[in-house]
């Protein structure tokens, strides 16, 4: 996998092409990662990779050289079970040696099944139990406000994860404290471990709920790099209000036999399935834009 | 130390609510260090933080009645370089937010100070929902968190000053039940170190928090009977001063532990783990063995054998 650089100043088309190719390479690497480790959460990984690639490719002001800068933007991965996607993204943008990805889940590897900030530079919080990232993000956004800093806070939550009550506690506090440099991104793939979110404990009307909790709500195609780039780099949308981005995604995207299929929550692709998936991604080379 | 103050028993000294020392010290620390912030779950009044709020209105974050959010927010503030002193009733702080304490603070190694207000059975008649006899045992089971149970206002202030200086997770109990001063004004808290308040060669009492002064009075009584009693103050439950424990196990005939906490896995459990694996000796663990019935904290401590007389009796029974 080549190493990508963030292109904050580039022309929008160039940024999008960079993000698209990074996302494609991250998917290829991540599929191999899960296949060779024999475990992982490939469905949720593939659902979120376009969001991760957009954040690291053009939105966050963080790069390997600025990973300890107090003024860096913070990205908190609340759905910590997609650690494989995060590690692969961090490797794609140079925070982590690409070759180290082969140690994922191996004994004593730094690449645990859930991210650990004490092992890997660039990780902001040790997540895994759901419903933890949003309160942490609110705390960081409060620290930025106290510092009168323009640094931003982004947190990615799963849609099933929003069933945890702690998220809603944190959302109340976020709007109460007018944390308009906080952005919550909901990976709205509509599937949780073994069933749809609707069948399990429905979130709808999610937009109205987030609005009622004091957020400016924006809906995007979570696989469209242009839409993601425009929205994530334009926050806040309403002064004084935190932003809630509903990113409509598909678990397993864009692999034909994984997409929107709950069975791929944490299923491991066989050698044959890996080959098929990689063939599909190879065919997508150069397509760019919305995957 | 108390050997030099023969007449006035510690039981006769004036008593203090440690929350006052807590708020005075927090204000002092916040004045000197702009990174310090308070985080509360609506517990401004119960933590006596009204004056702090007036002095530092922006630096008291009140997330409302939402303990999980409170601890996560504290971890996020630490991510942004702040030192968060979380101040909430220990029963809600440690029970409701236990997973946040484990993952967001201890496992993430965040610079968060968890201050468990009115711990143990301080809420007395409000009953076991509001008691936090379990807090020490729960947090002891979590890696990477220092647990401090101060015995008086002087130790509460000293432990807070230390906590503000050190980088990393700390839990401090802040007692509401009034206690006499047991330490001199110039006391310096040393984490992980026990303090031998009375030396003695027959039996050892190990205690902390609101029970320590009771153990000192018990020692006065035992000494009067000719039983030479060692009293060890154990403010840091984790990491435990195992050397002090093993010295007591070797040099005296038995150890009584006494604390305002469950008998299962709190300081007494930590002492027992040390003793049984290194130098087995006779022990009695005094603490709270059940969901307590209605009663004041003081009444309940007496009921569970932690009056001075009760502690003395446990020591006598152990060595005779």
Give the closest of A127, A142, A169 to B77, CB-based: A142
Give the mean pLDDT of B119-133.
Answer: 97
B165 flagged as catalytic: no
Give the closest of A118, A142, A169 to B109, CB-based: A118
- Claim to verify: residue B167 and residue B283 sit in the same structural domain: no
> What residues of chain B have any CB closer than 8 angstroms to a CB in chain A?
37, 58-59, 61, 63-64, 66, 68-82, 84, 99-100, 103-104, 107-109
- Claim to verify: residue B199 and residue B98 sit in the same structural domain: no
* Pairwise CA distance, residues B59 & B52, whole Å: 9
Q: In this model, does residue A100 exceed pLDDT 90?
A: yes
Helices B153-165, B18-32: crossing angle, 10 deg rounding: 30
Please report the pLDDT score of residue B46 as a whole number: 85
Please report the pLDDT score of residue B7 as a whole number: 58
Give the closest of B66, B77, B99 to A129, CB-based: B99
* Pairwise CA distance, residues A290 & A225, whole Å: 6
B229-233 vs B195-198, strand pairing mode: antiparallel
The nearest alpha carbon in chain B to A167 belongs to B69
Give the closest of B61, B71, B100 to A142, CB-based: B61
Contact A143 B99 (CB under 8 A): no
Q: Is the ipTM of this complex over 0.90?
A: yes
- Claim to verify: residue B96 and residue B122 sit in the same structural domain: yes
Give the mean pLDDT of A239-260.
Answer: 96
Contact A176 B108 (CB under 8 A): no
Domain that residue B52 falls in: 15-180
E strands, chain A, are 74-77, 153-158, 182-188, 216-221, 243-248
The pTM of the full predicted model, rounded to 2 decimals, is 0.95
Residue carrying structure tokens 């890696």: B143
Tell me which residue of B114, B108, B112, B82 sits closest to B95, measured CA to CA: B114
**In the listed set B133, B159, B180, which residue is the last one of a domain according to the structure?**
B180
E strands, A6-89, are 74-77
Please report the pLDDT score of residue A77 as a whole number: 98
pLDDT for B188-219, tens place per residue?
999 999 999 999 999 999 999 999 999 999 99
* Residues above pLDDT 70, as percent of chain A: 98
**Chain B contact for A118, CB < 8 A?**
yes
- Claim to verify: residue B104 and residue B238 sit in the same structural domain: no
Q: Which residues contact B277 (CB under 8 A, 6 or more apart)?
A: none
Please report the pLDDT score of residue B47 as a whole number: 86
**In the listed set B152, B180, B208, which residue is the last one of a domain according to the structure?**
B180
Please report the pLDDT score of residue A284 as a whole number: 82
Please report the pLDDT score of residue A286 as a whole number: 54
**In the listed set B149, B180, B211, which residue is the last one of a domain according to the structure?**
B180
Give the closest of A125, A138, A146 to B73, CB-based: A138
Average pLDDT, chain A: 95
Residues of A in contact with B59 (CB under 8 A): 146
Give the mean pLDDT of A112-120.
Answer: 97
Q: From the CA of B238, how many Å to the nearest CA of chain A?
A: 22
- Claim to verify: residue B197 and residue B104 sit in the same structural domain: no
Segments making up each domain of chain A, as ranges: 12-283
The domain A12-283 is placed in CATH, from the list 3.40.50.1220, 3.30.1490.20, 3.40.50.880, 3.40.50.970, at 3.40.50.970
Which of B79, B105, B113 should one mutate to test binding to chain A, selecting the residue with the greatest count of A CBs within 10 A?
Answer: B79
- Select which of B67, B155, B181, B220 is catalytic: B67
Is-contact A144 A157, C-beta < 8 A? no
- Claim to verify: residue B233 and residue B145 sit in the same structural domain: no
pLDDT band, residue A290 (cuts 50/70/90): very low
Q: Go through chain A and tell me how many residues it has.
A: 291
My answer on whether omega of the bond before A236 falls inside 30° of 0, hence cis, is: yes
Give the mean pLDDT of B213-235.
Answer: 97
- Claim to verify: residue B205 and residue B176 sit in the same structural domain: no
Strand order in the sheet with A74-77: A74-77, A153-158, A182-188, A243-248, A216-221
Question: b/e per residue, B123-133, with b = 16+ CB within 10 A?
Answer: bbeeebebbbb
Q: From the CA of B62, how many Å to the nearest CA of chain A?
A: 9
- Claim to verify: residue B236 and residue B284 sit in the same structural domain: yes
Residues of B in contact with A170 (CB under 8 A): 66, 69, 72-73
Give the mean pLDDT of A93-97.
Answer: 97
Residues of A in contact with B61 (CB under 8 A): 142, 177
- Claim to verify: residue B34 and residue B150 sit in the same structural domain: yes
Contact B72 A127 (CB under 8 A): no
Instruction: Note whether residue B126 is domain-resident.
Output: yes
- Claim to verify: residue B150 and residue B225 sit in the same structural domain: no
**Chain B contact for A254, CB < 8 A?**
no
Please report the pLDDT score of residue A265 as a whole number: 86
Contact B80 A147 (CB under 8 A): yes
- The domain total for chain B is 2
Give the mean pLDDT of A218-240.
Answer: 97
- Claim to verify: residue B20 and residue B159 sit in the same structural domain: yes
Q: In this model, does residue A152 exceed pLDDT 80?
A: yes
Q: In this model, does residue A204 exceed pLDDT 60?
A: yes
> What CATH number does residue B313 fall under?
3.40.50.920
Please report the pLDDT score of residue B4 as a whole number: 52
Contact A136 B104 (CB under 8 A): yes
> What CATH number does residue B175 fall under?
3.40.50.970
pLDDT band, residue A285 (cuts 50/70/90): confident
- Claim to verify: residue B175 and residue B216 sit in the same structural domain: no
Q: From the CA of A235, how many Å to the nearest CA of chain B?
A: 20
pLDDT for B58-70, tens place per residue?
999 999 999 999 9
Look at A130-134, A169-173, B49-53, B151-155 and tell me which has the smallest mean pLDDT: B49-53
Instruction: Note whether residue B30 is domain-resident.
Output: yes
Q: In this model, does residue A69 exceed pLDDT 50?
A: yes
Q: From the CA of A31, how many Å to the nearest CA of chain B?
A: 28
* Pairwise CA distance, residues B73 & A179, whole Å: 13
Instruction: Note whether residue B187 is domain-resident.
Output: no
Q: In this model, does residue A289 exceed pLDDT 50?
A: no
């Amino acid at each position: 996998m080549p190493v990508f650089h963030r292109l904050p100043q580039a022309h929008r088309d160039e940024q999008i092409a960079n993000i698209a190719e990074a996302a494609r390479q991250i998917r290829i690497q991540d599929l191999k990662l899960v296949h060779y480790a024999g475990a992982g959460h490939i469905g949720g990984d593939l659902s979120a990779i376009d969001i991760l690639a957009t954040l690291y490719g053009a939105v966050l002001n963080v790069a390997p050289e600025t990973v300890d800068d107090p003024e860096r933007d913070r990205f908190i991965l609340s759905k910590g079970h997609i650690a494989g996607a995060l590690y692969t993204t961090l490797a794609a943008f140079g925070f982590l040696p690409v070759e180290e990805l082969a140690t994922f889940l191996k004994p004593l590897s730094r690449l645990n099944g859930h991210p650990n900030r004490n092992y890997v530079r660039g990780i902001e919080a040790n997540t895994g139990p759901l419903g933890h990232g949003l309160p942490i993000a609110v705390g960081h956004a409060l620290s930025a406000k106290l510092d009168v800093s323009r640094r931003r806070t982004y947190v990615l939550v799963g849609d099933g994860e929003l069933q945890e009550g702690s998220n809603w506690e944190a959302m109340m506090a976020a709007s109460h404290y007018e944390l308009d440099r906080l952005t919550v991104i909901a990976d709205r793939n509509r599937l949780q471990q073994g069933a749809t979110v609707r069948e399990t404990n429905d979130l709808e009307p999610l937009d109205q709920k987030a609005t009622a909790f004091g957020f400016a709500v924006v809906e995007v195609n979570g696989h469209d790099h242009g839409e993601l780039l425009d929205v994530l780099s334009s926050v806040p949308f309403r002064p004084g209000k935190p932003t809630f981005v509903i990113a409509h995604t598909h678990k397993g995207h864009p692999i034909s036999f994984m997409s929107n299929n709950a069975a791929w929550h944490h299923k491991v692709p066989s050698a044959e399935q890996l080959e098929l998936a990689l063939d599909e991604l190879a065919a997508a080379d150069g397509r760019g834009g919305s995957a | 130390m108390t050997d030099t103050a023969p007449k006035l028993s510690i039981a006769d000294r004036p008593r203090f609510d440690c929350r006052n020392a807590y708020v005075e010290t927090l204000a002092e620390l916040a004045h000197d260090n702009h990174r310090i912030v308070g985080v509360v779950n609506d517990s401004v009044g119960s933590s006596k933080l009204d004056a702090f709020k007036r002095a530092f209105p922006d630096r008291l974050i009140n997330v409302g009645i939402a303990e999980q959010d409170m601890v996560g927010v504290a971890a996020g503030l630490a991510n942004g370089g702040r030192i968060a002193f979380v101040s909430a009733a220990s029963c809600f702080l440690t029970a409701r937010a236990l997973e946040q304490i484990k993952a967001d603070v201890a496992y993430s190694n965040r610079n968060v100070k968890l201050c468990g207000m009115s711990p143990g059975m301080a809420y007395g008649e409000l009953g076991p929902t509001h008691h936090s006899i379990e807090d020490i045992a729960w947090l002891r089971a979590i890696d990477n968190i220092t647990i401090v149970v101060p015995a008086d206002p002087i130790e509460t202030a000293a432990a807070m000053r230390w906590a503000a200086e050190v980088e990393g997770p700390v839990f401090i109990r802040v007692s509401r039940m009034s206690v006499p001063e047991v330490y001199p004004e110039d006391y310096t808290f040393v984490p992980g170190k026990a303090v031998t308040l009375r030396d003695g060669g027959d039996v050892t009492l190990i205690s902390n928090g609101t029970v320590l002064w009771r153990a000192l009075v018990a020692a006065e009584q035992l000494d009067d009977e000719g039983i030479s009693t060692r009293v060890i103050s154990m403010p840091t439950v984790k990491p435990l001063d195992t050397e002090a424990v093993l010295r007591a196990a070797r040099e005296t005939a038995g150890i009584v532990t006494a604390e305002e906490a469950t008998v299962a896995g709190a300081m007494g459990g930590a002492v027992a783990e040390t003793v049984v694996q290194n130098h087995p000796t006779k022990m009695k663990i005094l603490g709270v063995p059940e969901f307590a019935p209605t009663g004041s904290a003081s009444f309940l401590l007496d009921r569970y054998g932690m009056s001075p007389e009760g502690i003395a009796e446990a020591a006598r029974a152990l060595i005779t």
